[in-house]
Structure 1
Amino acid sequence: MARRRSRPLSIIALSGIAILCIIYFLSSSHSSSKARVRPPPAPGGAKSIVHHQMDGLTSSYRPLAHKERVLILTPITRFYDEYWNNLVNLNYPHDLIELGFILPRGREANQAIQRLDEAVNALQTGPKKNRFSKVTILRQDFDSPFSQSEKDRHALSSQKDRRAAMARARNSLFSTTITPTTSWILWLDADIVETPATLIQDLTAHNKPIVVANCYQRYVDHGESKIRPYDFNTWQDSEAAQKMGQMMGEDDVIFEGYSEMSTQRKQLAHMYAPGKDVNEEVAVDGVGATALMVKAEVHRDGAMFPSFPFYHLLETEGFARMAKRLGYQAYGLPNYLVYHYNE
């Protein structure tokens, strides 16, 4: 009798165990299925690899047709509304333009970065058609070693330290902001307050590796509006300057535009002929960077702004010499004018 009573209990127990096993295997199978569909993200992996076809990147005389991206770079210590308004009014599509700025440490630069931040934020939160593709603002880890007054900036005694500091800033700026999609780099000084709205199209149309506009300055003389040459860093070399360099020590630098150094170089600033062809080109050996258009490949190939004496040249003039050693000829546009702020 006892055995008969225990059989139903055994059957119930076995049935319960079987049901539990089925539930376990079903739940285990469901979980593993979910794990295969949604694997946890792993560090790195295929999605972190980006391919860029650099052989398809162009920098041509028709940048709009090829949707070529332009990087506009500006070292800045003072913020001028006229500079910003002129920049915003450039009519190359803003979605193909990236901006890069670099500022030194110091009180004056603190004020400039505040105004720059305000201007950038207002523009980038405004109408979409006016926004630039990207804006990068860098802060140097060293102070500006010179006064920002026009008189002090251009004193011969301050040139070596000033130009070396500018070279360091420019190198930091382009090396940080250039991307695999950059076709052109436009160096535009922070005190350039007037250019044609077609500046980018005009300079790229020459399809030169390096091309620079002629920088002048507007002023008033006895109630009459006039213009005068401003930037003297773009020039054609001379035998006198070459002989001067041969007699110098390796750390000495030749600076253009000073009576103390009679280089006899032919300066772009003095080649301007009113009413003549604005597209005229002349080969040059030194360049300024008030409005300097450079094919990005020139920088990618290693041309930078020497902060040390390079063939007795510094910064932008040294850049032109370095680029030429790499096989890139620079050109100036004597009759294409841009204008510098007049203090």
Structure 2
Amino acid sequence: MNAAKAIKDVCVIRVSQFMANGRWTRSVRTPVVKFALVLACGLLMLLSVQYLNTSSPSVKEEIEIDVEPKYVEALGYDYQPQPKEEKSWLPKLISYGRSSWSVSELDSFSDESRNILKNDQDISPQTLDPDNDSLLILTPVKNSAKHLTKYFKLIDKLKYPRHKISIAFLVSDSTDNTQQLLIQAKKKYQERGSEKMRFKRFEVFRQDFFYSLPRKQRHLYSKQLGRRTVMARARNYLWTRALENEQWVLWIDGDLDYYPPNIVHDMMAYDKDVLVPNCLVSRQISKFRWQYGVYDFNSWQETPRSISVVKKLNEDDFMIEGDEDAPFITHRKYMNGFGKDETIVPLDGVGGTFTLVKAHVHRSGIGFPTWLFQHQVETEGFAKLAKVNGFGVFGLPNYNIHHIHN
């Protein structure tokens, strides 16, 4: 509209100059000619406004966007906080005055096992158990200053008790003011903010790995193993420093565009060891059309074809999804390959855009491999490692979150 106003002003100026120019004859400056000139300029202005409205990509009415549902409720699942006494990790012969083992089970124990359980009974009241329903949000960041405002806006909309949330960041190899802004945010929430907006804990860690990669090379296969190894190191550093007695760990990317405010409760309702939603991104497919598609191709399920590919690999071959110069196609099933009625599905690999993990998975020693584990590192390696150790890894293919377009 500013451009249209400028065109109008130019038209008025030109008409005035035309009227005042002494070289034109008096007959040209008749009222009829004046009216015609003003009318012509008015039409020109209207046409310019119409052009701007139809050509500007900021006008949503003129752009066709294939919008998928933002999320699907956790159908059939209702999250209920678990009583703390049911969350103890120690097997107890007697639990707060009542037996927790049947007679047949007790008969199967050796005398040594009975003594162990009796000892557990004596010391269990002094055992530090995970804080019931507490949540630790972890986010590694690098040169993320421009995304932090959006990040905290989404966090503030979460429908989850703030006093149950701890949040921790790892700043690494940043050259912008990411760390300074996070320190300011900590003061805002924990010191100057109202009581209801304060987190249980707010931590900012710093660990540099002195790794640099031009952005245009991020998706080259030849650079992926080194890049993803550094990311795995960052994640391991963060969770081992930040995890205390929280019951859940939530990994969130620093540059997400949208997720539902009730997503934490929805995902907890499934009670899975590792769970991810479907992360989408809006991509431009024509001049006036945008379409949502899968962003996180690191969340996948093995198929018979992908398993046959794995069998042909050398021991040191690294598998990665969707890179420009990858030497092979993995033939895995991504989150967009499942039907609309498939609410929750088992996965073999996960990404890290929004990953909910039961804290006991990490406490049992499952981190992010910095070495090739079943041809994977970082988040996909984490999923493989979790499954080998008996933990469940799942995805919600019809529960959508959005990543920024970059």
Aligned-partner Cα distance in 2 for 1:52–1:175: 21
> Residue 203 of structure 1 contacts residue 293 of structure 1 at CA under 8 Å; is this kept in 2?
yes
Q: CA deviation at 1:53?
A: 3.3
Q: CA deviation at 1:225?
A: 4.9
Partner of 1:31: none
Aligned-partner Cα distance in 2 for 1:218–1:131: 33
Aligned positions of 1:53-202 closer than 5 A: 53-54=128-129, 57=130, 67-77=132-142, 78-79=144-145, 80=147, 81-108=149-176, 111-124=177-190, 125-147=192-214, 149=215, 151-179=216-244, 181-202=245-266
Identity %: 35
Partner of 1:23: none
Bigger Rg, structure 1 or 2: 1
**Structure 1, residues 226-252: CA drift from partner, whole Å, max 9, x if none?**
312111001111233333333333222
> Residue 281 of structure 2 contacts residue 295 of structure 2 at CA under 8 Å; is this kept in 1?
yes
Aligned pair in 2 of structure 1 residues 140, 323: CA closer, same or farther (>3 Å)? same
Q: Does 2:340 correspond to 1:246?
A: no
CA RMSD of aligned residues (A): 2.1
SS for the counterpart of 1:105 is coil
Aligned-partner Cα distance in 1 for 2:159–2:374: 39
SS for the counterpart of 1:322 is helix
Amino acid at match of 2:371: F
> Residue 232 of structure 2 contacts residue 378 of structure 2 at CA under 8 Å; is this kept in 1?
yes
SS for the counterpart of 1:73 is strand
Aligned-partner Cα distance in 2 for 1:166–1:342: 21
Aligned-partner Cα distance in 2 for 1:216–1:272: 16
**TM-score, structure 1 normalization:** 0.75
Aligned-partner Cα distance in 2 for 1:219–1:285: 26
Aligned positions of 1:222-301 closer than 5 A: 222-258=287-323, 260-271=327-338, 273=340, 280-301=343-364
Gaps of 5+ in 1: 1-49, 59-66
> Residue 305 of structure 1 contacts residue 316 of structure 1 at CA under 8 Å; is this kept in 2?
yes
Q: CA deviation at 1:293?
A: 0.4
Gaps of 5+ in 2: 1-124
Q: Does 2:394 correspond to 1:331?
A: yes
Q: CA deviation at 1:170?
A: 0.5
293, 301, 305: which one pairs with 2:368? 305
Partner of 1:15: none
**Structure 1, residues 74-124: CA drift from partner, whole Å, max 9, x if none?**
11111302122112221201110001111112414xx21122222232222
Aligned pair in 2 of structure 1 residues 249, 145: CA closer, same or farther (>3 Å)? farther
Residue range with higher mean Cα deviation, 121-130 or 67-76 = 121-130
Q: CA deviation at 1:178?
A: 0.9
**Structure 1, residues 45-95: CA drift from partner, whole Å, max 9, x if none?**
xxxxx95433xx48xxxxxxxx51000001111130212211222120111
Aligned pair in 2 of structure 1 residues 156, 269: CA closer, same or farther (>3 Å)? farther
**Structure 1, residues 190-243: CA drift from partner, whole Å, max 9, x if none?**
111210011211111110111101000134554445312111001111233333
Aligned-partner Cα distance in 1 for 2:277–2:404: 15
